[in-house]
Amino acid sequence: MRRLLPLLLIACAAPEPGSVKIIGHGGMGAGSPTPMNSEASVREALELGLDGVEMDVQLTADGVLVAYHAQDLDDLSSCKGKVNAMNWSAIRHCTVGGYDNTRYPIVRVDSLLLEAATLRPFADFTLDCKLFAAGDWWEYLNAFSDAILELDGSPALHGRILVDCQTEDLLRLLAEKRHAIPTYLYVTSMEGAVEKANSLRCAGITIGYTLASARDVRSAQEAGLKVTFFGTDGSNSHRSALRKKPDRLQTDAPRAFAN
């Protein structure tokens, strides 16, 4: 957890130091020269001393979790098709481009997190589950949830995995299989969100920082839920978000919180 927030933020009614976990969005965020979800971006964020990183994860046809955001591989990478329609042996050759035209391979989440766990022993890892099934929906969800449980079963990662998802089916399935993994319901409005998250046995709610008030945050926390904000990318948005006292803040400008 953060030991010290920047004086700039403390001076603007930020929470008490140590009360908010700072999470790198996709590693170093959307504006970084290194692409989000790449090994380089995740490593750099953890080397800054952040409390954790968030990454987008998808499932290959043979049950391997990989770090990739878009629905189709040709949206961001050198390959074509859905991740779930291809085996890892094919996807391992796919690359995404950085701002400097350097190519970065799509990576396996298990190997990436095992390395990250050693690099930053107290960090946690948020898996933003992107569900784009190429076949049967429930077979896909069962394989996806089993892959997450296998990650959490690793001694180096146990208790350090969080799941962030908008799809209730996956959250419900994970709760049925192993309630100990903290799940966060991604919402676009706080209306009904607390009741829905609690009905799904979630640990918290994830929402854009402009879409929830300080009162919304308090109400969720009083109901036993944690609140994650995302969408911050600089000092003004950091100040605005932190005034509302969330539990976790995903940032696209993690250097502002470097130790």
Q: What is the pLDDT of residue 259?
A: 76
Model confidence at 180, in pLDDT bands (50, 70, 90)? Answer: confident
Closest Cα partner for 125 from 67, 71, 193, 171? 67
- pLDDT higher than threshold 50 for residue 198: yes
Q: How far apart are CA 130 and CA 104, in angstroms?
A: 20
- pLDDT higher than threshold 70 for residue 14: no
Percent of the residues in the chain that have a pLDDT greater than 70, as a whole number: 93
Spell out where the chain has E strands.
21-25, 52-59, 65-67, 95-97, 103-105, 124-129, 161-165, 183-186, 204-208, 226-232, 248-251
Neighbours of 259 (CB within 10 A): 9
- pLDDT higher than threshold 70 for residue 38: yes
Q: Which residues contact 57 (CB under 8 A, 6 or more apart)?
A: 65, 66, 67, 68, 109, 127, 128, 129, 130
Of 38-47, 59-68, 170-179, which gets the smallest average pLDDT? 170-179
Q: What is the pLDDT of residue 18?
A: 53
Please give the CATH topology (third level) of the domain spanning 7-257. TIM Barrel (3.20.20)
Mean pLDDT of 202-213: 98
Which tens digit of pLDDT belongs to each residue from 106-151? 999 999 999 999 999 999 999 999 999 999 999 999 999 999 999 9
Mean pLDDT of 188-215: 98
Which tens digit of pLDDT belongs to each residue from 225-249? 999 999 999 999 999 999 999 999 9
Q: What is the pLDDT of residue 234?
A: 94
- pLDDT higher than threshold 60 for residue 6: no
Record the pTM: 0.92
Mean pLDDT of 157-180: 94
Mean pLDDT, the chain, integer: 92
Model confidence at 19, in pLDDT bands (50, 70, 90)? Answer: confident
In the 8-state DSSP scheme, what is residue 22? E
Mean pLDDT of 177-206: 95
Q: What is the pLDDT of residue 7?
A: 39
Q: How far apart are CA 121 and CA 140, in angstroms?
A: 31
Q: What is the pLDDT of residue 15?
A: 44
